Structure 1
């Protein structure tokens, strides 16, 4: 039976395939990994013992976060000019320091990666298909449900970058589909999560740049204003 290590290796391969422009292969690879993880996740919930992931890094090596973001597009320009959110065009690679990551955390990362690869395909179409975007939204929301039901506060802080990416891209789809209430909720959650970033748990500068392009519309009075400038 395939292991957690296999799933992480497949995820790394999927990121590389996406960078090489082979998105269909990347998506198939992530789906294969998700099938294994789903089986392991359900087994763990039933009390079955799952072998822990072992770190392959040496004790002398410098600290490396459990996940790192990898840009999969050189531009965030997409066919959604009035969108309040800037699309977050990055996937996450699970590093050799992932020994503390539970199955649920790895599951969330892979669900996000599957969603963002499909999301990029949808929004680079000449006319983005709303049904395509809704299917992508379901993937993001599934990842968020897993995090909500399986993670504690420490887990959320460890993978804050993933939660922010999820929230941002969920908001991007809601804004594109003109779901105003859900867009407001995404902006509010984004503000809350950004406030959790600290010196001990920082975000990459390029992430701040993307996220604050979205939340800046929310800073004046904490309300969403869609009125055009005078």
Structure 2
């Protein structure tokens, strides 16, 4: 069973809503997309029950190191800047700039003819990330901590999907997901003055920044916040660690 255009359309409709500043409509579209995706997944699993192969065991190595391995497959994921939150930042232990981009997939992608099972995790992670982005941008506008914590939970759910299914991701998609998630998790933890969690996000970003896939991303201006955040927080760390004159 191939991935239907309806799921991609619902996600992209949500992105359009985010561009218009309508977070509620975006969440509604993404909830419908998630429900449709789950229903298709259940049907496909039932159809392929006898042929289903057990997934390979997860490596015990740190995920940021494992993306150094070459992964095959298409990388149809791209990000759409949400200009109304441009350059929003948070004050806290390490200042982060929000990566104000939603993730989308083109209907022309060959992913459309691929099975739901093959792409379920990538689609689910994308939907959860975009739901987190909807709450995140809403929190930036309203200043409400409960919306910020809602975004945090959704980002963590998206990360959990990526963490447990990284072998099914193309290396560029995987890098984009992890950089976006760790950047925005760092933005939230920095806003909430959670210094230990902020430091973990910095360590992830630092590890990921050394990968060639990240260097390719950095050739596009829209990914500049990743490098800017690293430069700022690492400079702050160097300042704090320097001996007093």
What's the TM-score once normalised by structure 1's chain length?
0.77
Match of 1:124, SS state, is helix
Residue 42 of structure 1: CA displacement? 5.3
**Is the contact between residue 67 and residue 98 of structure 1 (CA under 8 Å) also seen in structure 2?**
no
Gaps of 5+ in 1: 51-63
Mean CA deviation greater in 77-86 or 89-98: 77-86
| Counterpart check, 1:91 vs 2:102 | yes
Question: What is the rounded CA distance, in whole Å, between the counterparts of 2:11 and 2:145 in structure 1?
Answer: 27
Normalized per residue, the structure richer in helix is 2
| Counterpart check, 1:106 vs 2:118 | no
| Counterpart check, 1:139 vs 2:154 | yes
Mean CA deviation greater in 28-37 or 69-78: 69-78
The total of aligned residue pairs comes to 212
Larger relative contact order (Cα-Cα within 8 Å, sequence gap ≥ 6): 2
Question: What is the rounded CA distance, in whole Å, between the counterparts of 2:241 and 2:222 in structure 1?
Answer: 24
Residue 203 of structure 1: CA displacement? 4.0
Residue 162 of structure 1: CA displacement? 2.1
- 2:207 aligns to what? 192
What's the TM-score once normalised by structure 2's chain length?
0.73
| Counterpart check, 1:76 vs 2:86 | yes
Deviation string 1:30-69 (CA, Å, 9 cap, x unpaired) is 111112223344566x56449xxxxxxxxxxxxx950111
Match of 1:120 among 137, 152, 162: 137
**Is the contact between residue 190 and residue 198 of structure 2 (CA under 8 Å) also seen in structure 1?**
yes
Match of 1:86, SS state, is coil
Gaps of 5+ in 2: 50-73
**Is the contact between residue 161 and residue 203 of structure 1 (CA under 8 Å) also seen in structure 2?**
no
Question: What is the rounded CA distance, in whole Å, between the counterparts of 1:91 and 1:17 in structure 2?
Answer: 11
Question: What is the rounded CA distance, in whole Å, between the counterparts of 1:202 and 1:208 in structure 2?
Answer: 6
Question: What is the rounded CA distance, in whole Å, between the counterparts of 2:90 and 2:215 in structure 1?
Answer: 35
**Is the contact between residue 65 and residue 97 of structure 1 (CA under 8 Å) also seen in structure 2?**
no
When residues 98 and 170 of structure 1 are mapped into structure 2, their CA distance, relative to the original with a 3 A threshold, is farther
**Is the contact between residue 4 and residue 37 of structure 1 (CA under 8 Å) also seen in structure 2?**
no
Question: What is the rounded CA distance, in whole Å, between the counterparts of 2:48 and 2:215 in structure 1?
Answer: 32
- 2:37 aligns to what? 37
